[in-house]
Structure 1
Amino acid sequence: MELQERTLAFIKETRGHDLSKYNLAHPFLGTLNAYEWLQFVASHEIRHAKQ
């Protein structure tokens, strides 16, 4: 499953949940909660789309 599919599945599975409770480490940015991860992934994709 690709990253986009996994991200969409996570969003569907966690609908109505407090995403600040889901944390995952980023190798350079440290621990991010799900809100921060979704914001990071979106901005990262936008940056790549402009290249």
Structure 2
Amino acid sequence: MGLSSMESAEHDTGLTVEFLLGTAHVSRKTAEAVYDTILKVEPDAVVVELCR
């Protein structure tokens, strides 16, 4: 899976590149896609929104 097969947006400010990945909170498939994307992109930081 990864970036090419899930809903995503890329924003390049010239100084940073930001990726926003749309996921389903209870989906193992999207969790694996996020994991694969992190391995591929090798970001300096990862931000996660947690829902209650």
For the aligned pair, the TM-score class normalised by the smaller chain equals: 0.3 to 0.5
The answer to which structure, 1 or 2, has the higher relative contact order (CA under 8 A, 6+ apart) is 2
Relative to its length, the structure with more helix (as a share) is 1
Length-normalised TM-score, structure 2: 0.34
Length-normalised TM-score, structure 1: 0.34
